[in-house]
Amino acid sequence: MDLAQSLFRPTQRSRMSYQVLARKWRPRKFAELVGQEHVVRALTNALDSGRMHHAYLFTGTRGVGKTTIARIFAKSLNCERGESADPCGECAVCTAVDAGRFVDLLEIDAASNTGVDDVREVIENAQYAPARGRFKVYLVDEVHMLSKPAFNALLKTLEEPPPHVKFLLATTDPQKLPVTVLSRCLRFNLKRLLPDQIAGQMRHILGAEHIEYDDQAIAELARAADGSLRDGLSLLDQAIAYGGGTLKAPDVRAMLGSVERGQVLGLLDALAAGDGSALMAECARIASFSPDFGSVLDDLAGALHRIQLIQLVPGYRPDSHDGDEPALIGLAERMAAEDVQLYYQIATTGRRDLALAPDTRTGFEMALLRMLAFRPSDDATPTVASSGGQRPAAPSPRPPVAPSTPAAAPAQSARPAPAPYAAPPTTPARETIPAAAPVQRVAQTGGLPDWEVLIQRADLRGPLGQLAQNSALRGREGHTLVLALQPTHMHLAVEPIVSQIADRLSEALGEPIRLRFVEDSQGAAHTPAARAAEARSVAQSAAEASIEGDPLVQALKREFGARVVPQSIKPIES
């Protein structure tokens, strides 16, 4: 090796100096944060007015900025140029916080420091004045991992904190925190980021890093990030390495195991035509790319969502950067609106059930075959009005009815008493969704478990169970469950109960869930609590009738003038 080669050969140190994008581009000021404006506004106002609480709790899924906000807040409190919401970022304190070596910012990982001894040491040190800054700041990450004795030790300091101490708690699982701790903190729920927000930050970073990219590659990565900017930037790092320094859609799809949107639309085209052979051919073509079949079902659900928007929202037109607008409009004209709803439910249910299938390809194909099995056979094509004039409507569906199957009971009727076992109908009937329905309703063929079953699976008890039992599952919008409440029960839907219910439902369903409550006097009439009360009333009436009709009771009434006290009669619990 000559001298020139030895001088320009990268050393081991230079190869290791690369800093991952998630750390390099970690926000250092509130203004640099993405998607958490509600938290930034509250903290900024508190800092500018000097009205600060002694304990803050930041909750939210991974990678949305919990510890980042806590560190910026610590800089804002201790910046040498003054306490403000806009720390200078240049003084010794700010640079020390950014470097992770500020002595008055004590970061505790509760996942590895769960014991009471660890917390007791923190509490004993809290009484001493800060060594360098104005405040001693304790940042406890994943605080829900602390043991019960450790929580009790922490609670004492939270009740009577020294004036120079601030506690910043972060957790992904707030329902595991004791109520006594929650009640002593100001709680901020950080939002999952939207794909557009993640994509915008990626474009900003790639522009600053002078890395070539195409928009479709960014869109694929933003969707795969699943609401976490940190996860998105980790995927971005991986994609840049995979593509050899550039970011191209084919490389990103190969890395993620995803497929082009055109291939997903090919599946929907075969479904709309009712062509099983073409559907299986499309499945085989997709399988040849060795994709992540769960991601393909996600893409399928996304396409169905856009088709439904075209059908039901006047004037809506899908984004056209992929060039698939004409295909989506064509599918919207060929497919019935209620079938799009049903296909969406089957896609999301099939996504969840992939782990139960013999293999993922089989589960994927069975989900598509289920859609084909429920495709209506009516070929009539009436015309409906749209914002763009008259266009052919999708065929009106004809609910499949199995031979010799009794007609379905009206939707508003009370639940029938259990009947002897009979073979289920070959094809269950499904609810027809009116075009003006304000939210997506849950098809009777699946999509979500029965609401009462889901309440049991999520182990919702106490105040959580009271709110859930008095709610009616009205529909689903993406990851949001829409729950109807009587106006007299709307006062129950308060924090932190709503967030705790959402977290438990997320765990039970294996996916992130949010809740939205709406007032609905009629739609909320058939809640689990109402049905349970109705069942108790029916059982009570049956028990009273049984006692009244008992020959011995009738004889006692005749011979001795006895009377039955209805309140004393209790139904026999099965």
**Best CATH choice for the domain 261-376 from the list 1.20.272.10, 1.10.10.60, 3.30.2310.20, 3.40.50.300:** 1.20.272.10
**CATH superfamily for domain 451-526:** DNA polymerase III, tau subunit, domain V (3.30.300.150)
The domain 195-256 having CATH identifier 3.40.50.10440: the answer here is: no
- Burial status of residue 316 (CB atoms within 10 A of its CB: 0-12, 13-18, 19 or more): middle
For residue 128, the model assigns a pLDDT of 87
How far is residue 502 CA from its own chain's centroid? Answer: 8
Per residue of the chain (574 residues), what is the pLDDT tens digit?
Answer: 444 444 344 444 445 567 899 889 999 999 899 989 999 999 999 998 888 899 999 999 889 999 899 899 999 999 998 888 999 989 999 999 988 889 999 888 887 766 667 677 777 788 889 988 899 999 998 899 888 888 888 888 888 888 999 999 999 999 999 998 999 999 999 999 998 999 999 999 999 999 999 998 998 899 888 889 999 999 999 999 998 988 998 898 888 877 777 789 999 999 999 999 999 999 999 998 888 899 899 989 999 999 999 999 988 877 655 567 888 999 999 999 989 999 999 999 999 999 899 999 999 999 999 999 887 654 433 333 333 333 444 444 334 433 333 333 333 333 333 333 333 333 333 333 333 334 444 433 334 478 888 998 898 988 888 889 889 988 888 889 999 888 877 877 888 889 999 999 998 888 899 999 988 776 556 788 888 888 888 888 888 888 888 888 888 888 878 888 877 888 876 5
For residue 317, the model assigns a pLDDT of 79
Element spanning 370, H or E: helix 360-373
How far is residue 392 CA from its own chain's centroid? Answer: 36
For residue 359, the model assigns a pLDDT of 93
Q: Is the pTM of this model over 0.85?
A: no
For residue 449, the model assigns a pLDDT of 76
Task: State the CATH architecture for 21-189.
Answer: 3-Layer(aba) Sandwich (3.40)
What span, in angstroms and rounded, lies between the C-alpha atoms of 14 and 9?
A: 10
DSSP string, 4-45: HHHHHSPPHHHHTT---HHHHT---SGGG--S-HHHHHHHHH
Q: Helices (DSSP H) in 210-336: which residue ranges?
A: 215-224, 229-242, 249-256, 261-273, 276-287, 293-312, 325-334
Domain boundaries, the chain: 21-189, 195-256, 261-376, 451-526, 529-568
In one letter, which amino acid is 381? T
Q: Helices (DSSP H) in 79-228: which residue ranges?
A: 92-99, 116-126, 148-159, 179-182, 195-209, 215-224
pLDDT in tens, 115-158: 667 677 777 788 889 988 899 999 998 899 888 888 888 888 88
What span, in angstroms and rounded, lies between the C-alpha atoms of 464 and 177?
A: 15
What residue has token string 């750390």? 23
Residue closest to 119 by CA, chosen among 158, 150, 162, 87: 150
Residue closest to 287 by CA, chosen among 251, 246, 259, 315: 259
For residue 108, the model assigns a pLDDT of 84
For residue 343, the model assigns a pLDDT of 94
